[in-house]
Amino acid sequence: MRFCPYAQRTLLVLEAKGIRHEVVNINLKNKPEWFFKKNPIGKVPVIENSQGQLICESVITCEYLDEAYPGKKLLPNDPYERACQKMILESFSKVLTNKKTTFFGGNSVSMIDYLIWPWFERLESMELNDCMAHTPKLNLWMAAMRKDPAVEALHIDAKTLQNFHALYVQNSTEACDYGL
């Protein structure tokens, strides 16, 4: 699960907000029966709070964590600005040319940046860096994201991702715990 970009979204928010948590990795190709009791659909991530309440789906878990826990707010307080970030997520590719700040949500890292980042972290492992050659704004964003403490703490290097993918496509049970 640590290689899943959807789960990584939630981990980034947990890290950015300094929320203590426990991670339970599962084999995404052979999910244990107990997991379907947590989420009958079987998707990750699922978070369980101290009251035993379960929250599923990456964007929903991230918003819940931002609202339920104190500290730096990753979503703007202003409803319009919050809606703008959600629209950016929905139409990401259309926004790239209109971006005027370092981060997608403004001058500092916010929820939208964490929700998009996991796919960009994987570009190098898929040997797709060349597709970024003509996107200076996106390259500046990626460089700034790499310096973010939450992103640094959860960084998975390209070789580890490549080795995980090699095991994953072979349906190896070793894939989900690779590198631990």
| 86-131: pLDDT as tens digits | 777 777 655 555 677 888 888 899 988 998 899 888 888 877 766 6
Rounded distance between C-alpha atoms, residue 125 and residue 168, angstroms: 14
In the chain, what is the straight-line distance between the N-terminal and C-terminal CA atoms, in Å? Answer: 12
Instruction: Report CA 52 to chain centroid distance, whole Å.
Output: 23
Residue 176 designated active-site: no
- Dihedral (C-alpha) 5, 23, 175, 159: value to the nearest 10 degrees? 60
Are 122 and 88 within 8 A, CB to CB?
no
Model-level pTM greater than 0.75? no
Q: Which of 4, 62, 84, 131 is catalytic?
A: 4
